[in-house]
Amino acid sequence: MIIRCLVRALFGVLLMFSITLPAWAQESNANEDPALLSAGVGWFDMVQQENQAVDFRLEYRSDLALWFIKPWVGVEVTSDGAVYGLGGVLLDFTLGDHFYFSPSAGVGAYSEGSGRDLGSTLQFRTQVELGYRFDNKARLGLAFGHISNASTSDRNPGAEILTLYYSIPFFGFN
């Protein structure tokens, strides 16, 4: 219980940070940063540890932007058969020449397989990612996210996921 409270507090601080970040961070420009194909591997249910699994992800992050808000779509599959297809928006900020910060939010459909029962099919994901952007625009990042049904169901256990991402420029839909 204490760990869960600490994780929520940390996530709250990171969200507050993401709200104030535009004031001093350099905004990414859609012409500067290409669309990205992001692959990730992570630790599913790292906080509660009731049904831990390896989390695999594949996401398409568009280069289309409305101000600094970009759409993304993706799929997550865990080692115990859970599948989560989702999409949402992200804020993409560069910090200097090489570092970036990307908070994101999304919604999608979750099937537990033989994995964690999250209370309903409808699930929301919030996430913060911090990483390094190479000169060729590829990225290596570490993300912390939370999946929950946002109390749209009687049961809402949620799950936290720590993910290592590698993203490459993707020019396939231009």
| Residue 104 C-beta-side C-alpha neighbours within 13 Å | 27
Of the ranges 7-11, 24-28, 30-34, 96-100, the best mean pLDDT one:
96-100
- Local confidence band at 11 (pLDDT 50, 70, 90 cut-offs): low
The reported pLDDT for the residue numbered 2 is 43
The reported pLDDT for the residue numbered 77 is 97
The per-residue DSSP string of the chain comes to: -HHHHHHHHHHHHHHHHHHHGGGTSEEP-TTTS--EEEEEEEEETTTT-SS-EEEEEEEEE-S--BTTEEEEEEEEEETTS-EEEEEEEEE-EEETTTEEEEEEEEEEEEE-TTS---SSSEEEEEEEEEEEE-TTS-EEEEEEEEEE-TTSSS----EEEEEEEEEEE--TT-
* All structural domains of the chain: 2-169 (2.40.160.20)
Render pLDDT for 69-114 as a digit per residue (tens, 0 to 9).
Answer: 999 999 999 999 999 999 999 999 999 999 999 999 999 999 999 9
The helix/strand/coil state of 47 is coil
The reported pLDDT for the residue numbered 30 is 40
Distance separating alpha carbons of residues 92 and 167, to the nearest angstrom: 13
Residue 166 in this model has a pLDDT that exceeds 70:
yes
Average pLDDT, the chain: 86
The reported pLDDT for the residue numbered 8 is 54
- Local confidence band at 5 (pLDDT 50, 70, 90 cut-offs): very low
The reported pLDDT for the residue numbered 24 is 39
The pTM of the full predicted model, rounded to 2 decimals, is 0.81
Pairing of strands 83-91, 159-169: unpaired
Render pLDDT for 109-135 as a digit per residue (tens, 0 to 9).
Answer: 999 999 999 999 999 999 999 999 999
